[in-house]
Amino acid sequence: MPRIRRAGCWLEKISNSENWYICWYDPATQRTRRRSTQTESKEHAEAALAQHVLENSRPRDADPEYVQIAALLDHWLSERGSKIPSAEANSYGVIVLLEHFGTERVSALTPLRQDKFVDWMRDRDYADSTTNRHLTILRAALRHAWKNGRLKGQPYIKSIKENEPKPKHIFTPDQFAEFLDRAKQIEHIFRFCMISANTLARPDAVRALTPFQVKFDERRIELNPPGRRQTKKYRPIVPITDTLLPWLRSWDGSPYVNYNGAAVFDIGKSFARIGADMGLTVTPYCIRHTMATQLNREGVSESQIARFLGHKPRDTTKATEFYIHHRPEYLAEAVAAIDAYFGKLPLKIVRPAAHLRVVEV
């Protein structure tokens, strides 16, 4: 059975026991030491392993030659990265970095080694912007360790020059209808598409949306969840369209965009596959840009489009922002245009199972 490694420790099973054991090499005795996790569950054992690493692998003023990258990433995520607005992205970034660097030491982070990481990311079709974000996480983890006296020094972590951004594809109505029909075969992708097209929210906000943010009685969605500080990528309150309402009522799970009950961190590859089958190059952002373009074509006011997109007007006060969504006419033009757009799409399925209506196309 392959070992599950993390910061110099690993999980394995031993004879005469169904439980997982945390194992590590003790240089003082030159023997492998073990501690039972008291569980047969692999998931619970991995959690116990992570906790063991956090409690036992905090070095003091250590030489980079002897400190594992994984340990510093664990410390940073636990103490800092999980407590800021970008916590979700940080968690995913640490997962990717752990997958690539494994048990390597900090001293291995030479410019050549970093170039190999960049190549590895590109081979897996990650955007250069994503690679830079992960390198930023790595840089932050090293700096955090150095500032807290755990590391003697920190290697230079490079940034890469990103490729020129490709023009965002704008779906035609026929293309978007076909994309949705194909996405219906992958439940979490279809949910993402419907929420994105009806809220114009950024992909991170769509993936994180939970039922607790949806106020059915007031017909609105609070894209910024309670307790999350607003950032420059403002998450507005938007009305629930007639198109989206029955879908939200029919979906279970939290967040809505989930796979077997677990949050989904990356949907870009699924988007790319569906697009490639259609002969298109698309990303999750393409829906947001398509709908913004459509609202503009329908003559929706720039201020309403801007609010849907989370571009908060600079001349508004906090009091205005607090009360404006209670107005009956709040973003009414944009909502009507979105519903009208869906009403004209040549979709095969336009209602969830409880309200199913099949249209011949």
The tokens of 163 are what? 């490729």
- Contact residues for 119 (Cβ-Cβ < 8 A; gap 6+): none
Prediction pTM value: 0.61
Domain with CATH 1.10.150.130 in the chain: 58-165
Pick the CATH number of 173-355 from 1.10.357, 1.20.144, 1.10.443, 1.20.1300: 1.10.443
- 212-241 as b/e: b if 16+ CB within 10 A: ebbeeeeebbbbbeeeeeeeeebbbbbbbb
pLDDT at 165: 59
Q: Are β-strands 220-222 and 20-26 bridged in parallel, bridged antiparallel, or unpaired?
A: unpaired
Strands, sheet with 220-222, edge to edge from the N-terminal-most edge strand: 214-215, 220-222, 237-239
The one-letter amino acid code at 206 reads: V
pLDDT at 318: 53
On whether the CB atoms of residues 135 and 94 are closer than 8 A, the answer is no
On whether the CB atoms of residues 75 and 54 are closer than 8 A, the answer is yes
Instruction: Using alpha carbons, select from 65, 64, 77, 70 the residue that is nearest to residue 146.
Output: 64
- 94-121 as b/e: b if 16+ CB within 10 A: bebbbeebeeebbeebeeeebeebbeeb
Cβ-in-10-Å burial (0-12, 13-18, 19+) of 294 comes to buried
Digitized pLDDT (tens) for each residue of the chain, 361 residues in all: 445 566 577 888 888 888 999 888 776 677 888 889 888 888 888 878 877 766 666 666 677 887 888 888 988 998 899 888 788 889 889 989 988 888 788 999 999 999 999 989 888 778 888 899 999 999 999 999 899 888 888 899 999 887 655 667 899 999 999 999 999 999 999 999 999 999 999 998 999 999 999 999 999 999 999 888 888 788 999 999 999 999 999 999 999 999 998 888 888 889 999 999 999 999 899 999 999 999 999 999 998 999 889 886 655 555 455 556 656 567 889 999 999 999 999 877 657 765 544 444 4
pLDDT at 2: 47
On whether the CB atoms of residues 107 and 65 are closer than 8 A, the answer is yes
**What is the H or E stretch that residue 119 is in?**
helix 111-123
pLDDT at 361: 41
Domain with CATH 1.10.443 in the chain: 173-355
pLDDT at 244: 95
On whether the CB atoms of residues 76 and 145 are closer than 8 A, the answer is yes
pLDDT at 1: 46
Instruction: Using alpha carbons, select from 50, 69, 67 the residue that is nearest to residue 59.
Output: 67
In residues, how long is the chain? 361
The tokens of 301 are what? 């006011």
Topology (CATH) of 58-165 = DNA polymerase; domain 1 (1.10.150)
Locus of tokens 């940073």? 76
